[in-house]
C-alpha cells in the first residue's frame, strides 16, 4: 500500500517507476548524457549528484540506453540541439536508467508529429515486450490506442467510464467516453 509507506519506502518504490513526460522534462542546457544519468539520481549519493558525479558503470549504462533508443551518437550534444523526437528518446533512456518495473508515460507523443509518435511508441512497446516492463501510457489518439494498447481504461471527470480491449472502442463507445459532440482525429 503506497499510501501507508514511509519516506524511505516511498523512495524505494519511486526508484523503480520510470517517467516519460509529454514535454520531455529535460535540462536543455545540459548534455544528453547528463539528462539520461538523471534517471540514477535515486540511487547515488545526493552530494555526488550535485556535481554530476556518477559511477562509471552508470555512465556506460547511459550510453547503452542511448544506443538502444537510437541516439547513441547524440550523448555529448546539448539537449536543446535535438529534435522533439530525439528529446523524447532521451526521456525514455532516462526512464530506463532506473531499471524500472513500471514506466508511466504521460502523453508521450502529444508533442510529436505522427511519424515520430509511432517511433516513440514502438520503443515503449519493445521495452514492454523485451524487458517485461509494464508501460502505463495516457493517450488521446485512438489510432495509437488501437495499435499499441493491450488494455484501455478511459476516464471522464475522474471516473472510469471504460475498461476493456482497444478493439471494443468503436464510434459509439468513443462518444460515450469523450462526449456526444466529440469527433475522432485521424
Ranges of residues in the chain whose predicted pLDDT is under 70: 186
Q: What pLDDT does residue 14 have?
A: 92
Let me know how many helices (H) and strands (E) the chain has, helices first.
8, 5
Contacts 24+ apart (CB under 8 A), 26-29: 26/79, 26/87, 26/90, 26/91, 27/79, 28/78, 28/79, 28/80, 29/78, 29/79, 29/80
Q: What pLDDT does residue 141 have?
A: 85
Domains and CATH numbers, the chain: 2-138 (3.40.50.300), 141-186 (no CATH)
- Class of residue 128 by CB neighbours under 10 A (exposed 0-12, middle 13-18, buried 19+): middle
Q: What pLDDT does residue 186 have?
A: 60
Q: What pLDDT does residue 175 have?
A: 84
Q: What pLDDT does residue 170 have?
A: 84
Q: What pLDDT does residue 92 have?
A: 98
Amino acid at each position: 500500500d503506497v499510501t501507508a509507506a514511509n519516506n524511505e519506502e516511498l523512495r524505494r518504490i519511486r526508484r523503480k517507476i520510470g517517467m516519460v513526460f509529454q514535454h520531455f522534462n529535460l535540462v536543455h542546457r545540459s548534455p544528453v548524457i547528463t539528462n539520461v544519468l538523471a534517471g540514477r539520481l535515486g540511487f547515488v549519493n545526493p552530494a555526488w549528484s550535485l556535481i554530476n558525479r556518477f559511477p562509471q558503470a552508470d555512465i556506460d549504462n547511459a550510453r547503452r540506453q542511448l544506443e538502444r533508443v537510437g541516439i547513441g551518437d547524440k550523448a555529448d550534444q546539448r539537449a536543446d540541439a535535438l529534435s522533439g523526437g530525439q528529446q523524447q528518446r532521451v526521456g525514455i533512456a532516462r526512464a530506463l536508467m532506473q531499471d524500472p518495473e513500471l514506466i508511466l508515460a504521460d502523453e508521450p507523443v502529444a508533442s510529436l508529429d505522427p511519424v515520430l509518435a509511432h517511433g516513440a511508441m514502438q520503443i515503449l512497446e519493445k521495452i514492454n515486450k523485451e524487458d517485461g516492463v509494464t508501460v502505463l501510457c495516457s493517450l488521446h489518439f485512438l489510432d495509437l490506442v488501437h495499435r499499441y494498447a493491450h488494455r484501455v481504461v478511459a476516464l471522464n471527470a475522474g471516473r472510469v467510464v471504460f475498461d476493456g480491449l482497444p478493439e471494443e472502442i468503436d464510434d459509439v463507445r468513443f462518444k460515450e467516453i469523450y462526449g456526444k459532440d466529440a469527433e475522432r482525429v485521424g
